[in-house]
Amino acid sequence: MKHVHDRKIIHRDIKSQNVFLTKSGMAKLGDFGVARVMNNTRDLAATVIGTPYYLSPEIVQSNTYDMKTDIWSLGVLLYEMCACKPPFNGENLHMLAIQIVSGNYQAVPNQYSLAFKNLIKKLLTVDAKKRPNIEEVISDPLIAKNAKRLMNEDDFNVEFKKSMQHAQNIFEKTKEKLESQVSGKQP
């Protein structure tokens, strides 16, 4: 998903049926039939598209959305993998929509770590502005540790070092700005 979002693409149909496993056990995201390429990362889309169980609250409410709609769908997918059922379910589309917008779902089964439960909770944040972006997701210690373990070093460096460097640059600029404000100098 990071690879896709880095290229300003919203997948818009992340679900278990669109995740494929290779012979070597690598998971790959497929079926880009309804994906949308954005002009820049701040663009918003408005088309209602996707599989109902995986729709984000912003799509259900016919609001504009961005790449964080894919983050929501990832949360639904991870929950579904743990609980063997989707987090939101209704007798009809209207009831499903109400559940999605409320953001209320049964707890993730107890056999999963608190860190994993908290990750799913972050991904299923109803307010898209508070939902993490892909950079924040991969910075989660649980994801970063496992990504490094599952990827060869070259692939890891290509996909993750840029993000980590970007985050470091933001931190350094913020630190410099704060230091200059304390000292009264312009950055």
d(CA 149, CA 162): 18
Read off the tokens for 187.
């950055």
What are the residues whose beta carbons fall under 8 Å from the beta carbon of 122, sequence distance 6 or more? 75, 131, 132, 137, 140
Catalytic position from the list 6, 13, 66, 70: 13
Which contiguous run of DSSP H or E holds residue 20? strand 19-21
In Å, what is the CA distance from 135 to each residue of 46, 131, 165, 173, 178? Answer: 23, 11, 11, 18, 23
140 catalytic per annotation: no
* Strand 9-10 relative to strand 19-21, pairing: unpaired
Give the catalytic positions in this structure. 13
